[in-house]
Amino acid sequence: MAEVTLTNVSKSFGDTRALDNITMTVPDGAFVVLLGPTGAGKTTMLRLISGLEHPDAGDILIDGQSVVRDTPAQRDVAMVFQQYSLYPHLTVRENLAFPLRSPVLRTPKDEIRRKIDEVAEVLSISHKLDNKATELSGGEMQRVSIGRALVRDPRIFLMDEPLSSLDAKLRADLRVELKRIQASLGATILYVTHDQIEAMTMATHVGVLDSGTLIQFGPPREIYERPVSQYAAQRLGLPRINLLPANLFPGAPPGAVTIGLRPEQLIQGEGQESTVVRVEHLGDQSRLHLKLKDHAITTLTDVHTLLKPGDSVAIAPSSPLYFDAGGTRIE
């Protein structure tokens, strides 16, 4: 397992600046989740570390050694591609065996067999091992693609939205399983996702990307509680953070333009009166959609709430986040 360091890495595709001067250190054994909308540069970052792309500027180090001149094979990384990238003419078993059959490894036959069976068990694809890769459903393909990374023992795992096309139950199972594998192997993982639950539950570190720049890098709790900007604050938290004009509530510090309120930062039962628009009972929680002076607010409330649309609820902020005109958070 290994530490990964990016120093001043930039990459452009034609006129598009995919990554702009990124500096980041992924500690050995970290589970780093990269967050950001499509086009933020998440996949490009994985491809640069894997060696499928070369940076225009900057250096990439694995365990302190510069790897920018190395081939993907020399870097010894495993990657789960978003589009599965299975070998269509091979069976599932052959797909899983492919990385192990590398002449560099010289893995004995029964060892290959044992590893494949083990990984297939974890990903519940044992019954599909002799199928051709093209005969699988999307979710099964994605699991095989994860399996192809897991059979190896690489220095770094790179995963590009590996759970995105799975159904909810499988996703929850594999989330736990991936976390367990990471803990038991002590693996270093870089993981791209849109899913905040994956980010919050699996990550030891989160990197927030915005059109090619790294906005913030740190433990998920830190990013949740102390986001550097409005943009970073919006990446985590469900329901999403409510962003309202700062003057809506008293007590805003000078320069504050926007107030950010997460559900737990809204005290109900005191302060200003708002109107209930809608109540969503989700079972383990209830979501409350409120309206305060024409501003929509979403928060959580008691599971057994008796509130109905039209009722009024008093709300007040409690240690909220404040942002200035440029979106930067004010301490």
Partner 1 sequence: MSASPIDRVAKATPPKLARKIRGLSDRTIAWIFVAPSIFLLLAVNIFPLIWTINLSFTNFKANRPGREIKYIGLRNYERILGDSDIWLTMQATAHFLFWTIALQVLIGFTLAWLINRKFKGNDLWTTIIVLPMMLSPAVVGNFWTFLYQPQIGLFNYVVSFFSGVDPSSFSMLGEVSLAPWAIVIVDTWMWTPFVMLICLAGLRSIPDYIYEAAAIDRASKWRQFWTITLPMVLPFLMLAVLFRGIENFKMFDLVVQLTGGGPGSTTELTSINLKREAFEKWRTGYASAYAIILFVTVFGLASIYVKALNKVKER
* Residue in 228, 225, 303, 232 with CA at minimum distance from that of residue 262: 225
The maximal CA–CA distance of the chain, rounded, in angstroms, is 71
Residue 199, token pair as written in the block: 């980010």
52 makes contact with partner 1 (CB under 8 A): yes
Residue type, 180: R
93 makes contact with partner 1 (CB under 8 A): no
- Residues 111 to 150: which contact partner 1 by CB under 8 A? 132, 148
As measured in angstroms, the least distance from the Cβ of 73 to partner 1 is 4
* Residue in 275, 284, 277 with CA at minimum distance from that of residue 315: 275
Q: What is the DSSP string of 32-91?
A: EEEE--TTSSHHHHHHHHHTSS--SEEEEEETTEE-TTS-HHHHTEEEE-TT----TTSB
Rank residues 52 and 181 by Cβ distance to partner 1 and give the closer one.
52
Rank residues 142 and 299 by Cβ distance to partner 1 and give the closer one.
142
Q: How far is CA 75 from the centre of its chain?
A: 23
Rank residues 52 and 185 by Cβ distance to partner 1 and give the closer one.
52
Rank residues 75 and 235 by Cβ distance to partner 1 and give the closer one.
75
Rank residues 119 and 246 by Cβ distance to partner 1 and give the closer one.
119
Q: How many residues does the chain have?
A: 331
Stretch that binds partner 1, among 13-21, 86-94, 263-271, 321-329 (CB under 8 A): 86-94
As measured in angstroms, the least distance from the Cβ of 88 to partner 1 is 8
As measured in angstroms, the least distance from the Cβ of 7 to partner 1 is 23
Residue 96, token pair as written in the block: 């899983």
51 makes contact with partner 1 (CB under 8 A): yes
State the residues that interact with partner 1 by CB under 8 A: 50-52, 71-73, 76-79, 81, 83, 85-89, 98-99, 102-105, 132, 148
